[in-house]
Structure 1
Amino acid sequence: MRLNRNLKINLIAAAALLFTYSVLTSCSNTRYLKPGQVLYTGAVVKVNPDSAKKVDDQKQLVKDLESKIRPAPNKSILGLKFKLFIYNLAGEPTKPKGFRHWLRTKVGEPPVLLSDVKLKYNTDVLKSYLISKGYLQATVTADTIVKNKKGKAIYTANTDIRYKINRVTFPPDTGNLTTAIQQTSSKSLVKTGNFYDLETFKNERLRIDNELKERGYFYFNPDFIIMQVDSTIGKNMTNVNVRIKNTSPAEALKPYRINDINIFPNYNLRRDSILRKLTPATYKDFNIYDNRNTFKPKVFDRLVFFSKGETYNRKDHNQSLNRMVNLGTFQDVRMEFIPHNGFKDDILDLNIYLTPLKKNSLTFSVTGTNKSNNFIGSEIKLTQTTRNLFRGAEQLDVSVSGGFETQYSGHTSGINSYSLTGNGKLTFPRFIIPFFKFESTTAFIPKTLISLTYQLLKRDSLYTLNSFKAEYGYNWKENQFKEHNLNPFVINLVKPNKGDSAKIEKLEQENPGLKQSLQKQFILGSTYNFTYTNQALTNRQNNIYFFGGIETSGNLLGLFNVKNSEGERTLFGQPLTQFVRIETDLRDYYKINRKVTWVNRLNLGYGYAYGNSTSMPFIRQFFAGGSSDVRAFRARSLGPGTYQIPDDVTYADQSGDVKALFNSELRFKLVSIFEGAAFVDAGNIWLRKADERPGSGFKLKNALSEMAVGTGLGLRVDAKIFVIRLDGAFPLRKPYLPAGNRWVLNQIDFGSKNWRKDNLILNIGIGYPF
C-alpha cells in the first residue's frame, strides 16, 4: 500500500524541519555560555573495555552505574534540550516576577556545566556500588572529552571476578533469641553459592527482625544484627557469619506479652487527664475509657486483634492499626506499647487512642463530567454524611445532585441532557449475612452496603427516563491488591416517557437501539465484580490492572414465576428482564523509563438475553467509539458489526451485545505539567443475533476482519488534582467498507479540508482514558 503524494511531502517537510530545529537549538544552547564554560552532555560508563570477558547482565550493570552519576545533564526530548532552549530564550529577567521570570525559572532549566561534575566523587560512588555487588577488587577511573564547548565524562570500571558465598553461619543456640533465629534460617536470603550482595545482607537483617517481631521481640532492631564477611579464604569466595551485637540492650533480647488493653475511643489531648481518671468499662479483654458511650464495645472486637496474655506480634499490630485507619471513622489513630513494670519483666500494656471525626458533615461540590458518548457538562452535588449512626461505626450518606450535559460531537451533537438524582447509602463496617456469622481476619474492613437511588433524566424534547435502583451488597478486600464487590440483590426499574411522538417515531426507525431504550425495564438480579491492581507499587517497572464482572437478571425468580397470558414471567405485575452479562478489562502499564510509559488495554464483553427478553436492555449493552474507546470514531457511532450509519440519521446511538476493544498508548512527559501520548485503538461491537441492520450479527471467524482501527496523538495537562485530555485521531481501518477495501491508509490526506472534516476526530476528556 502506498501513501499519497501529499502525505509524503508532509513527512519530508516535517523531517527537514526537525533536523533544522535540532541544529539551531544545539548551536544556540552553547552560544550563551561564558568564556571557558563547557556544556555537560552526560556520562558514558565502560565496563572491562580491555577484557574479552563480560560480566553477567552487563547492560543492566552499566545502566545501574550510569543512574548513580551526578549531576544529570540537561533534560532532552528526542535529543533536543528543550528546557535549556527555553531558559536561554527567556533571557535574564529584569524583575523577580512576571512571565519572563516564570518562563526562565519554572519552565526553563539552567545549563549543566562540565565544571559541575565531580569526577572523584562519582568514581568513589561507582566503586562503592560495585563492591556492594560483590566486585570486591573493582577499580574505577574517569576522564573527560571536550569538543565545541560540549563535554562528557567517561568512567572506566574494571570489575575483576565477582565474589560468591562459600558458607553462612548463624548464632549458636544459646537461648530463646538465638533459637528463634536458628528456626527461621531455612528462609534466609543469604545462601551458599549466591553472589556477595550488600543489598541482600540488608534485607536479611530486616527478615530476621520481622521474624523476631512475630515472636514477641518488640524492642529488637535490625541494627542489633551484624553480618561478618571473611573474603580472605581464597578462590574469590566469602564466609558470612550472622551474629547478635554484644552491645545490644537487654530489653531487645526477650519476647513480650500483652497485659492491659486500654482503649480511649473519644480521645483528644485536652481531655487526656480527665479520661485517664475515669473508671473503665470492661468488655472482654478491653478496658474502655469513654463516659459518653460513643461506640458499642463490640465494635472493638473487629478492630483490635490483640488479646490479654497473648505474645506480641507485628501482624496483629499492623492489622489492628490498618483496620482502625481504614474504618473511615477516626481522624487520628495511635497505638502505644508501654512496659508494664519498667523493663523488670516481659509485659507490655497497650494504650489505643482514637479521635473520631465529626458526627455530621455537609459537603458541596461542583464537578465536570465527560462521558463515553461525548456528553460533557457539569454537576452540582450536596451530600450530608452522618457517622457512627447506630454507635457501630456505620455511615449514612444522603446526596442530591443536578446536572447539565451537552453532546459536543458525533452524529447527535447539540443534544442537551438534564438530570436530577437523589441517593442514600448506608454502610456497615462488617458483613451482615442472615443466619450466618462471618468474621474477616484481614487488615481491611469488610463492608455491607445498602443504597437507594432515584434519577430523573430528560434528553431535550425526545424523552424522559425515571429510574429507581436499590442495591444490597458487600465489599471486601483480600489484600491491598484484590477487591471484591458482591450485590446479591439489585432492583432497577426504568420507566420512560416519550416526548415528541413524531420525532420519536422517526428516530426509532433510524435506530432500533433507541427503541429498546424507550421500553420499560424491570431488572431484578445480582452482580459480582473482582478487581486486581498493583498500581500502588510505584517502584515496579510493570503494573497490572484487571477487572472482571458478571451481572444476571431474572435468573432465580425466573425459575419459580408463573408466566402471564402473554407468556411473560412477571413480578408485581411487571415483566422481568432476563439476561447474563460478562465483562473483563485487562490493562498493563509498562514503564520504559522515568518519563515514558507504554499502556495496553484489552476490554471484552458479552451479553446474553433469554426468557422474557429477546435482546439485552439498552442500558446494559456495549458501545464503541468516543473519547475512551476507539478515538478515531465518534461516540457510539461504531457498529454493530459492519453496519454503517446513514448520513441522514438524526440520533446515532449504536449498541451491541458483544464487544472487543484493544488500546495501545505511549505516554511521555513533555514540559512541566504537560504530557504527550501516541496511540492506536482497535475494536467494535456486534449483536448476538443480527437485526434489520445488515452486518450487525456476531460471528467469531469474522471478528478480526470487522475491527475498526484508528490512531492519533494526545496532549494531557496533569495538574495532580485533575487531568485534562485532548486527543486528535483519524481512522486507519473502517469496518463498514466492503471487504478488501477497509484499510484506508492510502486515503490519508492532512492537506485536504474534506478529508479532515470526515476523518479527523477531536476528543476532549477529563482524566486518562484508561
Structure 2
Amino acid sequence: MRKLTRPLLFLLACLVWAACSSTKSLKPGQILYTGAEVKINPDSSGKIDNEKQVKTDLEAKTRPRPNKSILGIKYKLGIYNLAGEPKKPKGFRNWLRRQGEPPVLLNDVKLKYNNDVLSSYLISEGYLQATVTGDTVIKEKKGKAIYTAVTGQRYKINKINFPPDTGVLTKIINANKDKTLLKVGDYYDIDTYKNERIRIDNDLKENGYFYFSPDYLIMQVDSTIGKNLVNVSVKVKDIAPDAGLKPYTIKNINIYPNYSLRRDSTLRKLKPLQYNDFNIYDDRNTFKPRLFDRLVFFQKGEPYNRKDHNQSLNRMVNVGAFQDVRAEFLPVDSFKNNQLDLNIYLTPLKKNSLTFSVTGTSKSNNFVGSEVKVTQTTRNLFRNAEQLDLSVSGGFETQTKGTSLGKNSLSLTAEGKLTFPRFIVPFYKPNSTNAFIPKTIASLSYQMLNRGSEYTLHAFKGQYGYNFKENLYKEHNFNPISISYVSTSFPSDSVERKIYEQNPLLRTTLESQFIIGSNYNFTYTNQMEDSRRNNTYFFGGLETGGNVWGLFTPKDENGQRSIFNRPLTQFIRVEADLRDYYKITRNLIWANRLNLGYGYAYGNSTSLPFVKQFFAGGSNDIRAFPARTLGPGTYKVPDDAIFADQGGDIKLMLNSELRFKIVSVLYGALFVDAGNIWLRKEDLGEPGKPETARLGSGFKLKNAFNELAVGTGAGLRVDVSIFVVRLDVAFPVRKPYLPEGQRWVFDDIAFGNKDWRKQNLIFNIGIGYPF
C-alpha cells in the first residue's frame, strides 16, 4: 500500500504545482483569462428581484469560459502544463496533454459580443431598457472581464388580446384562451411567449390543422402605455400559407407491414386487404390484421390530431416487432381539398435471432465470477407480435470475502419467457389506449447451484403476469400467479450434512420450500429528464405467499398446510426504495436513498423464507460491512461461523453519496451508509440449546435508531455510459453489536495500523452504481 501511495502523492503534488504556476508557460504579452464578473446596477441603490440568480445566469452566458478548476486549482491547465511540449507525434506526453486544457487567454474575450448577449438576455426577461458595458482588468499575467448591467425597471403584462373570432381557427384559439400561459401581472418573459405559441399550435393540431406552425403566430408587445407595463396581442401572421389555416381529415389509411425499399414498387401494385378502416398491403400475411387495431388510433373520415399521431408511433415502436417505423401524411389532390392519406411503412425485425454473451458478475454476497449465456429469440410467434425468449446459461463463481472465502460454485440456468403485447385476462377484454404497449408475460425457469461437496440446490419458478406503463414516469408490474419451489440435497456422508442437521439457522435457510403467491411492483422515475435539477426514483413492492392457497389447503396431522408433502409458506412482504439525485453542478451530484422493508410470516411460517428475507452489508448496501453479515439487530455472527448469511424480517437503510467527475470517464464518490436488519421477534434458539439463540435480534421501535450501523468511505467509477465499473473502499464508524456507549468507533480509526486495516477496511467491486 505504501509503495503505491508515495508515487500517487508525488503525482498529485506535481499536478498542484503545475496548476498553481499556471502563468509560467505563457508567452510574452499573453494574459491568462480568469473569468467574468457581472455587476448589476452598481451606481444605484435599487436592487432587482432574485439578483443573485440573475448575476449567476449572466456570468454563465459569457464566452469564452475560463479553464476548469476545483477549489481554485486549474487542474486541467495543470495537466496541460505538466505534459509540456511533446517532442514526438505520439507517446505518453501527447496523451497526457490531450487530457488537459490549453490556457484560455484574455484576448479571446469579445466584449462587444458578450455585451449584446447579456443585453438580449435581460430584455428577454422583461428589462426592456437594459444596457450592458464590458471592460477588462489585468493584474500581472492574469486578467478578467467585468460587465456592468444597468437594468432599469422590469416590465409586467397589463392586458392580453387574442385575435377576434373570424373563423374556425380563431374560434379554437379563443375557446382555449383560459389555458393561456400569459397572465396579467406576470413579468414580461420571452420564453413564456414562445411556449404560448407552442400551446396554441398544440390546440390547433388536435383539431386537424396538420400544416399549422408556431411560426405563423406573432406576439405583438406594446411597451408605450407607461408605468413599465405592456399590452400583448396574439395574432395570426398575414403571410401564413393557406394550407396551414385549414383543418384536414383522414381519407385512406394504407399499411405496409413488411416494407422494404427493394419491394416498394411491388407492394404498391398489390391489391390491399380491406380490414376495418385499413388497407393492408402484405402478400406474405406477416401479421394478423387485428394487431393494427391496437397500434393505429386513426380512423377514416376523422380530423387529424396530434395525440393519435404520437400514440400510434409510440405503440408501433414499443411493440418490439419492427426495426423501422415511418408514418407519412400526404395531401390528397395537392392541397386542393382538406384530406390526407396516411401511409404507414413498417419494416419487421428478423423473426429469429441468436445472441451469445459473456458477462462478469459481482453479487451482494461477495461472489465474483463469469457467466456464459445463449438466448434464442423468436419474434411474431403467432403473427400477433408475440416474442419467445429461450435462454441457457452457465457460470462459475468464487467467494472473495466472508467465512466462505475461496468457496466455489457452479450454476446452470434455463429459462423460457413468452411475451404477448396485450392484456390477456380471462373473461375480460381490457382496452388500453395510451401510448405504451401493455404486456402479458409468462415465464418458466430452472436453476441448479452446486457448491461442491457442501450441497446442491435446485430452484424452479413459474410466473404469469402483466407489465403496464401508465405514462413515461410510472410503471406497474403485477404477477397474480408466482410459484417457486426450492429443493436442496447433500452428500450423505459429508461434514456439511452433519452441520446442516445441527444448525437450526442453516436448516431454515436451505430447507425445501414451496411458495405460491402474488406480487405487485410500482416504479416511478423522472431520471430521463436531464434538464431537471432534482431527479427522483421510487420503487414499491408488495408480495404475498400462500394467502389464497391457504384457504383451500387442509392441515395435515402436524397442523401444517402442505402441497405435495411440502409445507406451504405463508407471508406478506412489503418494500419501499426512495432515491433522490440533486445536481449541485453539472458534474457534482448529491445522491440519497431511503430503503424500508417489512415482512410478516404466519400460519405454517414463523419467519420469512430465506429467499424473501432482507439482508444488510455488501457492495450495494452498507459497504463498510461484508455482505449479509450485519445484524439482525445487535447480534454479531461469530468469526468462526460456518454459515454467515444473516437475514431479517425488517430493514431500514439510508445512503448518502457525493458523486463528482475527476477526468474524462473517471468519476469519484464520497459516501456514508447507515442501517440494519431485525427479526420481527427475538430468536431464542431451539429449546434446551441456548447457544443457538441470537440475542438482540428482535425489533423494538424505541431502540431502532440506537442499533443502526454506520460506515463511510470513498470510491472510483469508470462510467462509459453503457456500463459502469465501480471500486469502493469503506470502513465502519459505528458498530451496533458493541455495548451501548461504545458503538461509535471514531477513536479506534488507525489507517497506519495493519491489523486495523485488515479488520475494518472493506473493498467492494461492483458493476453499476450502488443506487
Please classify the TM superposition score into its range, dividing by the shorter chain length: over 0.9
Alpha-carbon distance in structure 1 between the residues aligned to 2:468 and 2:502: 45
Secondary structure of the residue aligned to 2:59 is helix
Equivalent residue in structure 1 for 2:129, among 132, 137, 140:
137
- The residue number in structure 1 matching 2:83 is 90
Using the TM superposition, name which of 206-215 and 612-621 deviates more: 612-621
* One-letter code aligned to 1:707: L
- The residue number in structure 2 matching 1:254 is 246
Equivalent residue in structure 2 for 1:605, among 597, 601, 607:
597
- Do structure 1's residue 57 and structure 2's residue 58 form an aligned pair? no
Structure 1, unaligned runs of 5 or more: 1-12
- Do structure 1's residue 666 and structure 2's residue 667 form an aligned pair? no
Q: Give the Å deviation of 1:506.
A: 6.5
- Go from structure 1 to structure 2 and tell me whether the alpha carbon gap of 1:273 and 1:526 turns closer, same or farther (over 3 Å shift): same
Alpha-carbon distance in structure 2 between the residues aligned to 1:746 and 1:156: 53
Alpha-carbon distance in structure 2 between the residues aligned to 1:510 and 1:652: 15
Q: How does 1:641-680 map to 2 (within 5 A)?
A: 641-680=633-672
Q: Contact 2:403/2:640 (CA < 8 Å) preserved in 1?
A: no
Alpha-carbon distance in structure 2 between the residues aligned to 1:569 and 1:511: 24
- Go from structure 1 to structure 2 and tell me whether the alpha carbon gap of 1:513 and 1:70 turns closer, same or farther (over 3 Å shift): farther
- Do structure 1's residue 391 and structure 2's residue 383 form an aligned pair? yes
Equivalent residue in structure 2 for 1:101, among 94, 97, 109:
94
Alpha-carbon distance in structure 2 between the residues aligned to 1:601 and 1:374: 22
Using the TM superposition, name which of 295-304 and 745-754 deviates more: 745-754
- The residue number in structure 2 matching 1:9 is none
- Do structure 1's residue 470 and structure 2's residue 470 form an aligned pair? no
Alpha-carbon distance in structure 2 between the residues aligned to 1:737 and 1:684: 14
- The residue number in structure 2 matching 1:442 is 434
Q: Contact 1:259/1:308 (CA < 8 Å) preserved in 2?
A: yes
Q: Contact 2:453/2:494 (CA < 8 Å) preserved in 1?
A: no
Secondary structure of the residue aligned to 1:590 is strand
- The residue number in structure 2 matching 1:409 is 401
Alpha-carbon distance in structure 2 between the residues aligned to 1:282 and 1:518: 60
- Do structure 1's residue 338 and structure 2's residue 339 form an aligned pair? no
- The residue number in structure 2 matching 1:702 is 703
Q: Which structure exhibits the higher relative contact order, with contacts defined as CA atoms closer than 8 Å and separated by 6 or more residues?
A: 1
* One-letter code aligned to 1:86: I
Alpha-carbon distance in structure 2 between the residues aligned to 1:420 and 1:646: 32
Alpha-carbon distance in structure 1 between the residues aligned to 2:700 and 2:657: 28
For 1:69-115, what per-residue CA distance to the aligned partner results, in whole angstroms no more than 9, with x for missing partners? 1111111122211111111111122233322212112x111111111
Using the TM superposition, name which of 523-532 and 48-57 deviates more: 48-57
Secondary structure of the residue aligned to 1:488 is strand
- The residue number in structure 2 matching 1:636 is 628
Q: Contact 1:256/1:311 (CA < 8 Å) preserved in 2?
A: yes
Structure 2, unaligned runs of 5 or more: 1-5, 684-692
Q: Give the Å deviation of 1:510.
A: 9.0
Alpha-carbon distance in structure 2 between the residues aligned to 1:500 and 1:39: 78
Alpha-carbon distance in structure 2 between the residues aligned to 1:503 and 1:693: 24
Q: How does 1:211-610 map to 2 (within 5 A)?
A: 211-499=203-491, 503-504=495-496, 507-508=499-500, 512-610=504-602
Equivalent residue in structure 1 for 2:17, among 24, 46, 50:
24
Alpha-carbon distance in structure 2 between the residues aligned to 1:20 and 1:350: 67
Alpha-carbon distance in structure 2 between the residues aligned to 1:666 and 1:690: 37
Alpha-carbon distance in structure 1 between the residues aligned to 2:254 and 2:597: 52
Alpha-carbon distance in structure 1 between the residues aligned to 2:452 and 2:742: 39
Alpha-carbon distance in structure 1 between the residues aligned to 2:739 and 2:498: 28
Alpha-carbon distance in structure 2 between the residues aligned to 1:511 and 1:212: 73
Q: Contact 2:409/2:450 (CA < 8 Å) preserved in 1?
A: yes
- Go from structure 1 to structure 2 and tell me whether the alpha carbon gap of 1:27 and 1:427 turns closer, same or farther (over 3 Å shift): closer
Q: How does 1:171-190 map to 2 (within 5 A)?
A: 171-190=163-182
Using the TM superposition, name which of 689-698 and 18-27 deviates more: 18-27
Alpha-carbon distance in structure 1 between the residues aligned to 2:462 and 2:86: 62
- Go from structure 1 to structure 2 and tell me whether the alpha carbon gap of 1:507 and 1:108 turns closer, same or farther (over 3 Å shift): farther
Secondary structure of the residue aligned to 2:81 is helix
- The residue number in structure 2 matching 1:35 is 28
Alpha-carbon distance in structure 1 between the residues aligned to 2:757 and 2:267: 73
- Do structure 1's residue 75 and structure 2's residue 76 form an aligned pair? no
Q: Contact 2:15/2:75 (CA < 8 Å) preserved in 1?
A: no
Using the TM superposition, name which of 242-251 and 46-55 deviates more: 46-55
Secondary structure of the residue aligned to 1:297 is coil
- Go from structure 1 to structure 2 and tell me whether the alpha carbon gap of 1:444 and 1:231 turns closer, same or farther (over 3 Å shift): same
Q: Give the Å deviation of 1:650.
A: 3.1
- Do structure 1's residue 47 and structure 2's residue 48 form an aligned pair? no
Q: Contact 2:469/2:475 (CA < 8 Å) preserved in 1?
A: yes
Q: Contact 1:513/1:618 (CA < 8 Å) preserved in 2?
A: no
* One-letter code aligned to 1:488: P
Alpha-carbon distance in structure 1 between the residues aligned to 2:100 and 2:595: 40
Secondary structure of the residue aligned to 1:204 is helix
Alpha-carbon distance in structure 2 between the residues aligned to 1:27 and 1:165: 51
* One-letter code aligned to 2:92: F
- Go from structure 1 to structure 2 and tell me whether the alpha carbon gap of 1:459 and 1:148 turns closer, same or farther (over 3 Å shift): farther
* One-letter code aligned to 2:729: G
Q: Contact 1:511/1:654 (CA < 8 Å) preserved in 2?
A: no
Q: Give the Å deviation of 1:511.
A: 6.5
- The residue number in structure 2 matching 1:715 is 716
Using the TM superposition, name which of 61-70 and 280-289 deviates more: 61-70
Secondary structure of the residue aligned to 1:559 is helix
Q: Contact 2:656/2:672 (CA < 8 Å) preserved in 1?
A: yes
For 1:175-208, what per-residue CA distance to the aligned partner results, in whole angstroms no more than 9, with x for missing partners? 0000010111111111111100011110110010
Normalized against structure 2, the TM-score is what?
Answer: 0.96
Alpha-carbon distance in structure 2 between the residues aligned to 1:526 and 1:561: 17
- The residue number in structure 2 matching 1:120 is 112
Q: Give the Å deviation of 1:149.
A: 1.1
Q: Contact 1:214/1:312 (CA < 8 Å) preserved in 2?
A: yes
- The residue number in structure 2 matching 1:10 is none
Alpha-carbon distance in structure 1 between the residues aligned to 2:303 and 2:312: 15
* One-letter code aligned to 1:315: K
- Do structure 1's residue 621 and structure 2's residue 622 form an aligned pair? no
Alpha-carbon distance in structure 2 between the residues aligned to 1:197 and 1:88: 45
Using the TM superposition, name which of 750-759 and 194-203 deviates more: 750-759
- The residue number in structure 2 matching 1:150 is 142
Alpha-carbon distance in structure 2 between the residues aligned to 1:552 and 1:200: 50
Q: Give the Å deviation of 1:457.
A: 0.7
Using the TM superposition, name which of 500-509 and 648-657 deviates more: 500-509
Q: Contact 2:15/2:79 (CA < 8 Å) preserved in 1?
A: no
